[in-house]
Structure 1
Amino acid sequence: MLAEPLSAPIHCDASQAQQTKASAFYNPDCEESRNSSSTSSALSNSTFRLEIVNGLRHVDVNLDARTYRSSSFVAQLVSLAIVLRVPAWATVRHLDSSRILIRKASGSLTNAVYFVSYPLSPSLPTILLRIYGSSSGSLISRSHELHTLHVLSSRYHIGPRIYGTFANGRIEEYFDSVTLGPSDLRDEKISRWIGSRMAELHSVEITAIEGPLSVRSLEGKSWEIGVKKNVRTWLPVARKVLAHPNVDKSERSVLNLDAFLEGWVRYLRWLSQVEKVEGSSQRVFAHNDTQYGNILRLTGKLAEGTPEHRQLVVVDFEYASPNPLAFDIANHFHEWTADYLSSTPHLLDFSRYPTPQQRRNFYQAYFSHTHTLQETSTTDVAGEARLAKLDRQVKVWSPASHGMWAIWGIVQAKDDVEKGLAETAAEFDYLGYAKCRMQRFFHEIAVLGV
């Protein structure tokens, strides 16, 4: 939905951010000598402290996502774009803030993505605005995420370019594209493209993101695989959420974290033994959240000679980290069972899990693009064994995905729980989602004989 025409003068103050490498006071009015009077009016009385944090331009100002339709929000956003020197936006002339269009792309009111455009000037590119939710800081490290995005875009040309950050969000590159839908994951060709793209991401050196390992270091010392780290660090927060008086006893019973932890530890021990006997799934730099909403399909024509799978762009690297490649694939397969646009977006339909033939189609594309597992004919013994081994590894790592997202759902429910929102009033039933994933976790470890 497009926002209504907006206009109003802006007045905002910014406090000094912490842990900076460089900083300087910046007054947009100084920039306005090169811009139009209409922009200058909108930006009067604004003074920001511009700093360099994590190698990116940063202003310690908060944007309130709940007011994104207001004129003051738009004026503040324009001022940020100028200070952060967003390409074209920072030097545009005759900018009329009342004509800026803001369209909400996804997320809740307090944790959302917006497309920001200026139709009066075709040369002014659309930019993507992200505003973080208050509970997201309990789940991810924003500084690590920004470091990851910077390395991926600058060194590997993967993901969007980050133009700059502010206290509770960032402005980044917008791709002229459409977001995939649930049915797209089931398309044979698109599934192969996703497999190829995932293999390319898995070729990123872990040390480029996490730093070098010492000679004697082992997994868990210099870095820890993401799924284990996430469950370990999110559990204490989840316990606090479930301890809130607004949480019904019946929900605490279903989301029994003591029982989960016991099952999780038992599962990890079993998993460790299986990998010693059968061989471990290679540790790679993984996305860990390849749901259809995080995969874009470019609408423009690709440059001549560009492989067709490159029309897919994976975004949203909040949960990217080192993980077994089988975990990343298993996690993606579970997203086949989700439909976040349905009347029950928190429930997964496990009958939609990819069939053996659909998994084979994905694996073949993955093998054909990975640097470590060269493509071989799937009709020979070695090729069939390779496919069977990967499918087995995906199966044994599958419960880990359910366990991680079950705890995530509880933590994400924090705001709704504190506000006392009923399941029907919340934008997304996070606790319902957590129950679905946790029930599936116990079901799958039982099937595995854990």
Structure 2
Amino acid sequence: MEEKLSAAAAAPAGLPGRRGQPAVRCLGIAVDEDNVRPGALRLIRELRPQWAPERVKTKLFTDGITNKLMACYMDEGMADAVLVRVYGRKTELFVDRENELKNFQVLRAHGCAPNLYCTFQNGLCYEFMQGMALEPEHVRQPQIFRLIAWEMAKMHAIHANGSLPKPSLWHKIHKYLTIMKTDLITKASNPRFRQEVPSLEVLEQEVAWLKESLSQLGSPIVLCHNDLLCKNIIYNETEGHVRFIDYEYAGYNYQAFDIGNHFNEFAGVNEVDYSLYPSRDTQLQWLRHYLQAYKQLSRENQGSGGGVISDQELETLYVQANQFALVCKAKI
């Protein structure tokens, strides 16, 4: 994709702000995901015109799975860094970019996301969060997982007890099946493929069974991150907090999905070892911190809710999270 800027699109437009937030600038620039730097620097000239172009430094992050991410900065400590995130090709097939932007703005309004500087034709620019992207060994540490439980509860409590949409899980799964359908049909004549991969009909039956079973667990619908891998958690040791990044999959979903999905991440992503999946004792500690925070924050947001956590509700959430952990490894 060539970097380009049309005369008509060059003038900054704005997307409506949310909850009193300023409108988000829209820049008519496209950035080549195979050569991010030139397009990133063009964006910086728009966003930081006071920066001397020859002094701008860049750093390309390599941990992204579906997107390219580059930091542009002047300060050696990257305290002033602007992140340029370029969407991966064809990711619009399974990521609703308009919904991502809305959720980004909602999360920012509630102190759960960084400042959003602008959108461009195939990406976003936003504030750099100081800290360390976590690894599986970090999220198992009690002093860190308490912070993660609190931050997740903060996100979940944003619209707690309100009238919320249906969970996104089933829509996303059916969307993936639709994308896979042609490939499944094409390869169905291959005996080895048929032996190793279930047919579309079998997969659809399994989804129907999952929906019937999991819908009966009674997990509340909340605003979820839905992709809380370790690398999406930034730990700031100096300030003593964690923050979540990357809201591509954020949306309304089952509370227990977000928790169960995160528990899966204890086992790793590329090299999975389920002996590292959190023990019952570890989960109960995590869930108690989460419920304490969720009740406190929900009460602050809605003016209601009790603060005492019973053994029964702790056990209920434990069961729900582990049921959803079985389905959420597929990532919605």
Please indicate, yes or no, whether the TM-score normalized by the shorter chain is above 0.5: yes
Q: Deviations over 1:297-337 (max 9, x none)?
A: 125x43xxxxx4xx101111111111121111111111111
Name the structure 1 match of 2:301: none
Tell me, in whole angstroms, the C-alpha distance in 1 between the residues paired with 2:272 and 2:120.
35
1:158, CA displacement in angstroms? 1.1
Partner SS, residue 399 of structure 1: helix
1:119, CA displacement in angstroms? 4.7
1:250, CA displacement in angstroms? 3.0
Among residues 381, 386, 395, which one is paired with 2:313 in the alignment? 386
Tell me, in whole angstroms, the C-alpha distance in 1 between the residues paired with 2:145 and 2:92.
32
Q: Deviations over 1:221-276 (max 9, x none)?
A: xx32011111122211122344566x97634543323212111102222334x43x
* CA 137–188 in structure 1, closer or farther in 2 if over 3 Å, else same: same
Taking the TM superposition and a 5 Å limit, the aligned residue runs for 1:240-259 are: 240-243=182-185, 250-251=192-193, 253-256=195-198, 257-259=200-202
Which structure exhibits the higher relative contact order, with contacts defined as CA atoms closer than 8 Å and separated by 6 or more residues?
2
Partner SS, residue 325 of structure 2: helix
Tell me, in whole angstroms, the C-alpha distance in 2 between the residues paired with 1:386 and 1:193.
21
Residue 90 (1) aligns with residue 14 (2): no
Name the structure 1 match of 2:229: 291
* CA 367–123 in structure 1, closer or farther in 2 if over 3 Å, else same: closer
Which runs of 5 or more structure 1 residues have no equivalent in the other structure? 1-10, 17-24, 27-47, 214-218, 303-307, 378-382, 409-450
Residue 14 (1) aligns with residue 17 (2): no
Larger radius of gyration: 1
Q: Deviations over 1:120-140 (max 9, x none)?
A: 7x7981111111111311111
Tell me, in whole angstroms, the C-alpha distance in 1 between the residues paired with 2:78 and 2:134.
27
Q: Is contact 1:103–1:116 with CA below 8 Å preserved after alignment?
A: no
* CA 117–390 in structure 1, closer or farther in 2 if over 3 Å, else same: same
Tell me, in whole angstroms, the C-alpha distance in 2 between the residues paired with 1:394 and 1:123.
37
* CA 397–12 in structure 1, closer or farther in 2 if over 3 Å, else same: closer
Taking the TM superposition and a 5 Å limit, the aligned residue runs for 1:323-338 are: 323-338=253-268
Alignment: residue pair count: 316
Tell me, in whole angstroms, the C-alpha distance in 2 between the residues paired with 1:364 and 1:124.
35
Q: Identity percentage over the alignment?
A: 21
Partner SS, residue 172 of structure 1: strand
1:80, CA displacement in angstroms? 1.6
Name the structure 2 match of 1:143: 98
* CA 224–116 in structure 1, closer or farther in 2 if over 3 Å, else same: same
TM-score of the pair, normalised by structure 1: 0.64
Name the structure 1 match of 2:59: 102
Tell me, in whole angstroms, the C-alpha distance in 1 between the residues paired with 2:78 and 2:281.
46
Residue 239 (1) aligns with residue 181 (2): yes
1:65, CA displacement in angstroms? 2.0
Tell me, in whole angstroms, the C-alpha distance in 1 between the residues paired with 2:315 and 2:289.
15
Partner SS, residue 284 of structure 2: helix
Among residues 154, 162, 166, which one is paired with 1:200 in the alignment? 154
Partner SS, residue 266 of structure 1: helix
Among residues 252, 256, 262, which one is paired with 2:205 in the alignment? 262
* CA 136–241 in structure 1, closer or farther in 2 if over 3 Å, else same: farther
Tell me, in whole angstroms, the C-alpha distance in 2 between the residues paired with 1:136 and 1:295.
22
Name the structure 2 match of 1:36: none
TM-score of the pair, normalised by structure 2: 0.84
Q: Is contact 1:106–1:114 with CA below 8 Å preserved after alignment?
A: no
Residue 52 (1) aligns with residue 11 (2): no
Which runs of 5 or more structure 2 residues have no equivalent in the other structure? 17-22, 299-304
Q: Deviations over 1:86-119 (max 9, x none)?
A: xxx2323x4316x5222324225x7222222235
Among residues 362, 365, 372, which one is paired with 2:286 in the alignment? 362
